[in-house]
Homo-oligomer: A and B are copies of this chain.
């Protein structure tokens, strides 16, 4: 991270946001600006790449690079509204991270959490602290929690695993680092879904030298493609239960095909079951790991979606053949998770509150999804289409005709609606466009309608302007 490109990026972003540079204006070529500023071309290229990625600039090949002609800038630009302590951040990461708004994907229903039970268990866990629990926590996790998770997974997700295979972690980035360190060497081929979990792709681009993307269609990951091009992959990340973000379910034949691919090529599959607990139909497909007779699947689960994100508690299920590798990695570079939170969650699980809570959340989330789907139809008729899947915590509202999901998401975010532009979750150029919308905290039909109505005028104006612009060609 050299300061060079960032300064250029910020200066140009500021110029565009403040109106000094207008939509359609040409910006200098990489060669010219690099020589003018006395920096490497790479530096300018990086700044341009970010600005293009964020939609401020568009590259038009030999015709040069311009300020995005479709750019819609409001009187009070979003970026200037960001709170002081984060003002120097990449706005991309910032926008994707912000959870304080509404409709943010992946946040559990905060109003439906069993606070009383939780406080009771929390108080108990605090009071029962022993001297032995003051020293470093067990590296792989607090034993009663590992046991409770193994029990839960056996009963609810159809896995057959033991507590010994459970590794308690602090979340997605921990899991990713741990798995890469334990199972791969520097140049191993690593595969990720396209589209795929935004932060996963970002983190892997940094951590894996030999990263490739595998397309996803309406049946989930394209396993034929995998077999054809990637028999030499070491590791594949996949979201079979509800694809992130498309929410489609990997079909059963593909699941078997995928497991066969891994067995044949000695590859490891990481099953990210980030919201597999939430299914609203009777047709519950088993977790990939439950079909994994060759023990090629590392299963990842999290309490961020089922309990609360503030816990920073998640876990992986290690295949038996990998136990030693994971332990060794843990011994060299990890130091365990805080004991207190592990104790509370262990009691939450083993006393049955977790199961009860999930059972309550399923119909609630299904209901809340319905509110949002109906509101979308009413407020934005003909603009979005939604392919309803069997569960999860978010929907994807695809744009029928527009590709302006980034601009629309920025409008919505100005109204504190923290939806995410679908195109940002793609890494190839075969993008689809739409909004990823979390519905778990929308309490009533009226609330859904009033929230979605907030950015309606501006959204329609943007789309109208765009269609006139297109028609004008």
Contacts and interface: CB of A to CB of B under 8 A. Distances in A.
Contacts of A127: 119, 122-123
A319 interface: no
Nearest to A126: B122
Interface stretch (A93-101, A358-366, A379-387): A93-101
Q: Which of A99, A171, A177, A310 has the largest number of chain B CB atoms within 10 A?
A: A310
A196 to B, nearest CB: 16
User: Range of interface residues on chain A?
Assistant: 35 or more
A37 interface: no
B203 A332 contact: yes
Contacts of A134: 108, 110, 113, 308-310
Interface in A128-151: 129, 131-137, 139-140
A170 interface: yes
Interface of A: 1, 3, 6, 85-86, 88-90, 93-94, 97, 99-100, 107-108, 110-111, 113, 115, 118-119, 122-123, 126-127, 129, 131-137, 139-140, 164, 170-173, 177, 182, 199, 202-203, 206, 304, 308-313, 323-325, 327-329, 331-341
A157 to B, nearest CB: 23
A336 B324 contact: no
Given A94-B331, A119-B126, A328-B89, A336 B308 contact: no
B135 A331 contact: no
Contacts of A206: 332-333
B202 A309 contact: no
Contacts of A100: 132, 135
A310 B131 contact: no
A177 B308 CA distance: 26
A310 B170 contact: no
A178 to B, nearest CB: 11
A432 B372 CA distance: 69
A139 to B, nearest CB: 7
Contacts of A341: 338, 340-341
A1 B97 contact: no
Contacts of A86: 327
Contacts of A328: 1, 89-90, 93
A364 to B, nearest CB: 16
B107 A129 contact: no
Contacts of A177: 177, 333
A135 B99 contact: yes
B312 A337 contact: yes
Given A99-B136, A173-B335, 14 more contacts: A1-B325, A3-B324, A86-B327, A99-B135, A113-B134, A122-B126, A126-B126, A137-B309, A170-B335, A199-B332, A206-B333, A310-B338, A312-B335, A341-B341
